[in-house]
Structure 1
Amino acid sequence: MSSTSDPFDVPLSVGTDRERGREIKVIALIAIAHFVSHVHIMLLPPLFGEVREAFGVSYIQIGLALTAFNVVSALLQTPAGFMVDRVGPRAMLTGGLLLGTVAVVAAAMLPGYWTFVIAYGVLGLANTVYHPADYSILSATIDHRRIGKAFSIHTFAGYLGSGITPALVLACAAIWGWRGGFLVAAGLSFATAMLLIVAGSVLPRISHKPGQQAAAGGAKVGLDLLLSGPVLRNLLFFFCLAMANGGIQTFTVVGMGEIHGTPFSVANVALSGFLLCSAFGVLVGGIIADRTPHHERVAAVGFACTSTMAILMAWVNMPAAALIVLMSVGGLLNGIIQPSRDMMVRAVTPPGSFGKVFGFVSTGFNLGGMVAPLLFGFLMDQHEPRAIFMIVAGFILLALVTAITRTKPQSTPHGLADTSAR
């Protein structure tokens, strides 16, 4: 038998201790990498004030760094997905972590505002590899009966990274300044890259057997696949989620304050409840995703409830406790949707194309990340905060429509594909 880095040389001993042990190692490594990617994403916002003062620029100019990050990610995530399928997810993931390390160190240590912006553009390039490589590795190595849980742990790790980063970098900045906070984040990504190099033999070097695509019933590949109806529908689905979550996560506090006079402290607690319950909802959603093939139904129930939450927030002046409970329940349901979201993408992806497809549909997140702040910020400037929540509800309902009207995949099961790919 050849190296365990090739998933196709592992015996088909489904359910054995060896197989489960290998899956646990794979999930742990991918979860750590995804955690680090979200640390990089959330690194700048808590330090906006200190970084702005260091360069003597405006908030809009510092925000340009995040724009550069999202633009580069949006433009290059699909090509990165093609590279993952061609070069292999393990090499691309390790390279992304190392490139992210270099970008964060450059942002912290090199002088000049424009150097900082360019470094953030490079960080956006590093960010392009995570979703294509992560989902490609998980789809190639995890048994189909446990893939929903694997997706949920992957997503939970990202949520955890986003939640921990503000406290982490602020604590580091209090001791070593904002540059020190950046260097700690760089150290995390470098350590993770070394971990993948040392312990990454359990990860696949390739995500499909040579010729597997041709054997998959003549499935579309390349641009034909990405421009097919089911994949474009998922791109729209991801964009709608990004727009809805962008409105809730970024403008709930100021929006509720202007509409109902909700104290910032209460709105922040409610938002924290939404984010925290979303993270744990992801784990619940993974269990559900493994127990039902009807992922669109799970998404539909969650969307119906979260759109109701947004409408109530816009039109009903609730007591503090009611608002906190409402947003916490909404966050739980929002989290439960996420693994079913990933399973719907996986269901329309032929073997050997996970990198390019997940890279392409994940571009919807970047597009939403670019559009949402501009649209909702404009509405706040026009003193129309209620419109933000109504538009959020609209995007949630559009996501619901894209989910429930999707074409049911034919039963050439990924379970079979998975077995052949193990």
Structure 2
Amino acid sequence: MELKRVVVTGLGAITPLGNDVKTTWENALAGKSGAGPITHFDASLFKTQFACEVKNFDPSDLFDRKEARKYDRYAQLAIHAAKEAMADSGLDLENENVDRIGVIFSAGIGGIRTFEEEVGSYYTNMDKGPRFNPFFIPKMIADIAAGHISMIYGLRGPNYATVSACASSTNAIVDAFNLIRLGKANVIVTGGAEATISPSAVGGFNAMHALSTRNDSPLTASRPFSASRDGFVIGEGGSTLILEELGHALARGATIYAEVVGGGMSADAHHITASHPDGLGAKLVMRNALEDAEMNPDEIDYINVHGTSTPVGDISEVKAILDVFGEHSYNLNISSTKSMTGHLLGGAGAIEAMFTILAIRDQIVPPTINHDEGDNDPEIDYNLNFTFNKAQKRKIRAALSNTFGFGGHNASVILKQFNK
């Protein structure tokens, strides 16, 4: 069976850097941080009091007030990003077979804010008996964004969510890629969203010592590959990619951003939260992606790394890159856009795939910000080009995006300049 080619024909985003693709990309290239004091709840007693929040988002732009109450914030963000991507794709659904358009859209956690509110209300009002909102379960579950997107557009193709912690939305993209190239769909709306800036999420990650506590300087707190890094900065938002079979895209004259050419998945099989210290799972997932794409390591020019700004994770990923790419590692540009967006958990892979696509389109690598001269970790090889602090123009033929999740889940996707 001859596999079909898969291209990207639409993008949408809502992130701590902007409420659309254009603004997000401009701010990323400018090296801006999306971090600031938490406004979603009173975090004054928490170890971490800052996050990368989405700004100036009004759900009434999408729904009337009554309808908005049926959606957790994560689903609202997902729908916002999906609407931009669908408009960008130019798909005319009146002339499409919607039975062959699917939605694979992820969240690592889903409606945690809804869960907090409902359970909190129950315990506050126990004397009145168990009273729960009838929308409690549909608002909370991690697959509901995929369901809502399909219902909004009447898309009846494959529809589900992938949940693999912080690798979730890269897994969604890889699944969408595989279904299209196997001929199971013409188009798939894919990506991920997360909205976990909440007391339980921040408190839970604090208890694990996973978050930065640089409360005196939120803008500089996410500092991947720097010796002074002290944990990730939690973020929220989402991104949507429209993946399409090449022949279908060409037939309708679609704008093509890039081609998806390979996807890899692996497990660390090591620890519930920590990556393998030697990057075993990270090595395997990148090799799997390269093998799937039938590419050699020296054909990759840029890696958008997982790069969360955690003490162990950053080192293990660097070790993995050096092992997989060998001497070519020193010809790569590497950058962690989490230094600007923070860590969007289940939405991270989608926004980072989008950055990778735009880097290919514009032939420019977004930076890894917040690295100070001399703030070097002796376990990291700084002969590698981490694209510190300033975007860099370069030829990008193909690029790889990594995401790794709690539970040892790893996913990578390879994107390439489109050539007929």
Q: So what's the TM-score if we normalise by structure 1? A: 0.30
Q: Which protein has the bigger strand share?
A: 2
Task: Report which of the two structures shows the higher radius of gyration computed on alpha carbons.
Answer: 1
Q: So what's the TM-score if we normalise by structure 2? A: 0.30
Q: Which protein has the bigger helix share?
A: 1
Bigger relative contact order (CA 8 A; separation at least 6)? 1
